[in-house]
Amino acid sequence: MTKDWYPVIDYSRCAACMTCVKFCPHGVFDAKDEKPLVLNPESCIDMCRGCAKICPEKAITHHSSSK
């Protein structure tokens, strides 16, 4: 089964504050070159929107083909 729920960062909005990297308890994000990366999308919890809610720039949406 292909993972169908994971965060997508809009880098045109992202301020690289790293709040999402520190926040996600499942290690979905990592930082590279001082930017957040979605490194482990398969670890994201279905229908969790925690990181999207705490992102101060509203730069995170979630990929889903069913919603």
Binding residues for ligand SF4, rule: CB under 6 A, are 7, 9, 14-20, 24, 26, 28, 36, 44-45, 48-51, 55-57, 59-60
Q: Are strands 35-38 and 29-32 parallel, antiparallel or unpaired?
A: antiparallel
Q: How far is the CB of 67 from ligand SF4 (least distance, A)?
A: 13
Q: Which is nearer to ligand SF4, 4 or 57 (CB)?
A: 57
Q: Which is nearer to ligand SF4, 15 or 30 (CB)?
A: 15
- For the four alpha carbons of 39, 67, 25 and 9, in that order, the dihedral sign comes to positive
